[in-house]
Amino acid sequence: MATALVTGSSRGIGRAVAQAFARRGDRVAVHYGADRDAAAQTLASLDGSGHAIVGGDLGDPAGAQDVVDAAVAALDSISILVNNAAVAPSAANEHRVDATSYDAWQSAWAQMAAVNLVGAANVTMLVAQHMIAQGDGGSIVNVGSRGAFRGEADHPAYAATKAGLQAFGQSMALVLAPHGISVASVAPGMIATERQTPKLEGAGGDGIRGQSPFGRVGTPEEVAEAVAYLTSPAAVWASGAVLDLNGASYFR
């Protein structure tokens, strides 16, 4: 039985990952940043027992430490980490370089860098040192983005921080392999989460679905199954990989 910390697992991809882990018998620490009620819904949806909820702002170094400490205390150990928490693109944090103010630009970059990149790096450092001390190996998966490769015109900070996260994962793969810890990333395209429902049901929905030759977008469950594979013993040799999950909507 593995023990997993899944950041940002109160909904969407993170919730699906937590559910996939629980189905195979893992115990999961469900992390939330602000919405404890949503995290409680995730917890209630998990198969098995011994799961926990941990809350905290990963954009704050002390908050990241508290989250990891709470997860270790609740599960007794962490053998899997999924860095899924992120400040996601929205109309409120749009910062297209030819149509934004300097204040809005600074705000978007600061928020996204603090959580998407530095926060994930801090959690990884703390969990990796815990795994090393345990001496039993482990696995880490970063949830990146297709935007890291194709760019995001309206949210360049999001694309840049996801690219940084994927590169960071490869650096960790080099260092942690001798300790029996694998590190990989997934790079999803558009996924049908609650957050994307307005876009997918709006006037541009058909165009978004048309980006893939399958004529649809991905599901959280499809991402979760890939993450489950990358955290399985069979996937150790995939350490350092960045797995595209975009339905052939973008090639690199």
Catalytic entry in 10, 139, 145, 185: 145
Q: CA angle 80-85-91, nearest 5°?
A: 160
For residues 105 and 138, give the distance between their C-alpha atoms in angstroms, rounded to a whole number: 38
Report how far apart, in Å, the C-alpha atoms of 182 and of each of 125, 170, 175, 252 are: 14, 10, 10, 23
Choosing from 10, 79, 139, 158, which is the catalytic residue? 158
Q: Which of 10, 162, 182, 185 is catalytic?
A: 162
Measured CA to CA, the distance from residue 239 to residue 138 in angstroms comes to 11
**C-alpha separations of 105 from 87, 93, 114, 116, 155 in Å:** 14, 9, 14, 16, 10
Our answer to whether residue 162 is catalytic in this structure is: yes
Burial of 60 (0-12, 13-18, 19+ CB in 10 A): middle
Annotated catalytic residue 199: no
Which value, in Å, is the radius of gyration of the alpha carbons in the chain?
17
Q: What angle do CA 123, 33, 67 make, to 5 degrees?
A: 35
What is the arrangement of strands in the sheet containing 80-83, beginning at the earlier edge strand?
A: 52-55, 27-32, 3-6, 80-83, 138-143, 181-188, 242-245
Joined tokens for residue 135: 């001496």
Residues identified as active-site: 145, 158, 162
